[in-house]
Amino acid sequence: MAKISCYENATRLGSMDPVAYIAILSLVLLFLLHRLLGLASRNGKNKSMGLPPSPPAIPFLGHLHLVKTPFHAALAGLAARHGPVFSMRMGSRRAVVVSSPDAAKECFTEHDVAFANRPLFPSQKLVSFGGNSLSMASYGPYWRNLRRVAAVQLLSAHRVACMSPVISAEVRAMVRRMDRAAAAAPGGAARVQMKRRLFEVSLSVLMETIARTKTSRTEADADAGMSPEAQVFKQIVDDIVPHLGTANLWDYLPVLRWFDVFGVINKLVAAVSRRDVFLRRLIDAERRREAAAAATKSEPEVYTDTMIKSLCANMFGAGTETTSTTTEWAMALLLNHPEKIQKAQAEIYAAVGTSSLITPDDVPRLSYIQSIITETLRLYPAAPLLLPHECSADCTVGGYDVPRGTMLLVNVYAIHRDPAVWEDPSVFWPERFEDGKAEGRLLMPFGMERRKCPGETFALGTVGLVLGSLLQCFDWDRVDGAMVDMTESGGLTIPMAVPLEAMCRPRAAMHDVLQELWYMV
C-alpha cells in the first residue's frame, strides 16, 4: 500500500501545473537556505545564542501580519510567548524588541553609542526636515549641537525656572475659563473636554515662552473649547502623529508608497505644510530665542532657518501632545478612583491652603501629586515604544546577536508592567512610590542616556502644576456616573481611544480665590 501511495503521489506531482510546482520548489529551497545560513551564523558565533527568537513569519511581509493596534500591547503579548528579547522582520527591515528592565539597561548603558542612531522611515523623513530634527537626526556633530541648544539654552532647569511665571499665568487663565464655564452651566457644573483644555494650555505656554506671543483667544470666549491657534495646531498634530508610529505599515511596504493606497503621503505633506506655515509665522514675528538669534548672526551657516524650525517643531509637537496626554490619563485614572482625588486634595490644602493658588515652587513639595504623576507615566508612558533606535555596530543583547542596521524597539509599556518587578502591575496605586518604596526599579518614560528626551523637567513641572491646580480648584465627577473608558489607541503616543470628558464644579473653599481670577487679565 505504501508503494502505491508513493506512486500515486509522484503521479500527482508530475501532473501538477509547472508554475505551481516551481513556486513550491522555490519556497522549499528558500526555507532550506534560510536554515543553513542560520546554522552557519550560529556556528560562527559560539559566544552568543545567535539571533533572538522570533514568531513564525510569512514570505515578503515577515511579521507585519502581527502588527495590531495598539502596537505596544501586541508586542507585550509576543514577549510573553517568545521572551523579553525577540526579533521581528518588518517587511525587509529587521527589528529586535526589548521588553525587560535588564535588557533595556544593557542597550542604553553598555551599548548606548551603538544604539544612538535612528532609523529614518519615509514618513519620519517627511515630517523631520529630511531627518534633521533633534528627535530623528543621526548621532554625530549635528545632533550634538542640536541637543546642546535644546538642553542648555531652551530646556535647562534654569530656563524652565524662568518659564514659571508664564506657566503659572497660563494655568490660571485655564482655571479662570473653566470656572466661568461652570458658573454658566446648569447646576454650576461644566462638562469639560479635558484633552482640548489641556492641549491649549500646553500650547499657550510654549507660544509665550518660546515665541513670546499669545494666543488670540478673548476672555469672552470662556465656553470656547480652544483658541484659534490651538485648534489649528491640534489638527496638525492629529494629522501627523498617527502616521509616525512603528506600526505604520506604509513605512515598510514600498507598494503602499508607490500607489499611496491610504492617501498617507498627501495627508502628511498637507499637515507638514500647515505646520511650517504656523512656525514660520512665529519665527517671522520674532526670532524667538535670544541665544539662537545671536548665534544666527555669528554662525548663520550652523543656525539656519531649518535648524530653528526643526527645534521648534520638536518642542511644539512633543511639548503639547505628551504633556496633555499624560495629564488626561492622570485625570482619567483619578476619576475612576475618587478616593485618590480626596487624598490629593487633602495634601494640597495642608501644604498650600485655600487662600492662594498652587505655584510651581509648591509642586515638588506635593509628594502624593508626584506619586500620581509617576504612577500615570508607569501605566501610560507618553511614548510607549519610545522612538525607534538603530544599531550602528554588531553587538549582543541578552546574550543574542544584534547585527548592525537592526531596528531596536524598547517596549517601555511592557517594562513598566512587568509582574516580576511590580506588584499588581495593571493596578493604579500611587502609594507604591511613597517613601522610596519603588527605588531602584526601572522607569523610563522619557528614555535613557544619550537620546533621552531633554524636555523631562519642563514636562513634569507643567503636568504637576496643571494637575495640582485642577484638583485644588475643582471637584470632579464622571459624566453620568459611568466609569471612564480606559481603552488605549495607537500611534507614536498613547492617546485615549475615547477622549476624556468630566464634570467639574468649583470648590466652595476656593470661592474667593477663583473670584479674584475673574478680574485678572
Query: CB–CB of 219/521 below 8 Å?
Result: yes
Q: What angle do CA 130, 136, 140 make, to 5 degrees?
A: 100
Mark the binding-site residues for heme, compressed into ranges: 453
Query: CB–CB of 108/102 below 8 Å?
Result: no
Query: CB–CB of 237/320 below 8 Å?
Result: yes
Please state, in angstroms and rounded to a whole number, the distance separating the CA atoms of residues 400 and 48: 6
Please state, in angstroms and rounded to a whole number, the distance separating the CA atoms of residues 286 and 277: 14
Closest CA to 389 of 123, 111, 155: 111
Closest CA to 78 of 101, 105, 51, 96: 96
CATH code of the domain covering residue 315:
1.10.630.10
505 phi and psi angles, rounded to 5 deg: -130, 125
CB atoms within 10 A of CB 274: 16
Only one residue has cell 494650555, namely 201
Q: Is residue 180 part of a domain?
A: yes
Long-range contacts of 19-28 (CB under 8 A, 24+ apart): 27/59
Please state, in angstroms and rounded to a whole number, the distance separating the CA atoms of residues 204 and 215: 6
CB atoms within 10 A of CB 345: 20
CB atoms within 10 A of CB 423: 9
Q: Is residue 90 part of a domain?
A: no
pLDDT of residue 405: 96
Q: What angle do CA 75, 130, 139 make, to 5 degrees?
A: 65
- DSSP letter for 62, please: B
Q: Is residue 230 part of a domain?
A: yes
Long-range contacts of 69-73 (CB under 8 A, 24+ apart): 69/247, 69/489, 69/490, 70/247, 70/384, 70/488, 70/489, 70/490, 70/494, 71/245, 71/246, 71/247, 71/385, 71/490, 72/384, 72/385, 72/411, 72/412, 72/413, 72/414, 72/490, 72/494, 73/413, 73/488
pLDDT of residue 111: 96
Only one residue has cell 512603528, namely 246
| CA-based R_g, the chain, Å | 26
Q: Is residue 468 part of a domain?
A: yes
pLDDT of residue 399: 95
Residue 350 neighbours by CB under 8 Å, 6+ apart? none
Query: CB–CB of 181/226 below 8 Å?
Result: no
pLDDT of residue 215: 74
Instruction: Say whether both 151 and 34 belong to one domain.
Output: no
Query: CB–CB of 321/453 below 8 Å?
Result: no
Please, what's the b/e burial string for 15-38 (b: 16 or more CB within 10 A of its CB; e: otherwise)? eeeeeeeeeeeeeeeeeeeeeeee
Q: pLDDT per position in the chain (521 positions), as tens?
A: 444 444 344 344 344 454 444 445 555 555 555 454 444 444 444 356 799 999 999 988 999 999 998 999 999 999 999 999 999 999 889 999 999 999 999 999 999 999 999 999 888 899 999 999 999 999 999 999 999 989 888 888 888 898 899 999 999 999 999 999 999 999 999 999 999 999 999 999 988 887 777 776 655 554 456 788 899 999 999 999 888 877 788 888 887 777 776 677 888 999 999 999 998 888 887 654 454 555 455 566 667 778 888 988 999 998 899 999 999 999 999 999 999 999 999 999 999 999 999 999 999 999 999 999 999 999 999 999 999 999 999 999 999 999 999 999 999 999 999 999 999 999 999 999 998 888 889 999 999 999 999 999 999 999 999 999 999 999 999 999 999 999 999 888 999 999 999 999 999 999 999 999 887 65
pLDDT of residue 2: 40
The gap between the terminal CA atoms of the chain, to the nearest Å, is: 96
Give rounded-to-5 percent helix, strand, coil for the chain.
55, 10, 35
Query: CB–CB of 177/474 below 8 Å?
Result: no
Please state, in angstroms and rounded to a whole number, the distance separating the CA atoms of residues 469 and 409: 36
Is the backbone of residue 405 left (phi > 0), alpha (psi -120 to 50) or beta?
left
Number of domains in the chain: 2
Environment class of residue 321 by beta-carbon count within 10 Å: exposed (0-12), middle (13-18) or buried (19+)?
A: buried
Instruction: Say whether both 246 and 384 belong to one domain.
Output: yes
C-alpha dist (Å) from residue 65 to 58, 74, 75, 91, 408: 8, 11, 12, 10, 19
Instruction: Say whether both 376 and 263 belong to one domain.
Output: yes
Q: Is residue 76 part of a domain?
A: no
Instruction: Say whether both 23 and 152 belong to one domain.
Output: no
Instruction: Say whether both 213 and 325 belong to one domain.
Output: yes
CA 471 to chain centre: 25
pLDDT of residue 261: 63
Q: Is-above-0.85 flag for pTM?
A: yes
| Domain carrying residue 3 | 1-44
Q: Is residue 49 part of a domain?
A: no
Query: CB–CB of 288/210 below 8 Å?
Result: yes
Closest CA to 150 of 359, 326, 311: 311
Reply yes or no: is the peptide bond before residue 228 cis, omega within 30 of 0: no
Mark the binding-site residues, compressed into ranges: 453
pLDDT of residue 521: 55
- DSSP letter for 150, please: I
CB atoms within 10 A of CB 163: 21
pLDDT of residue 21: 43
- Give, for 93, the enclosing helix (H) or strand (E): strand 93-98
Q: Is residue 115 part of a domain?
A: no
- Give, for 400, the enclosing helix (H) or strand (E): strand 400-402
pLDDT of residue 298: 55
CB atoms within 10 A of CB 219: 12
pLDDT of residue 207: 86
Q: Is residue 56 part of a domain?
A: no
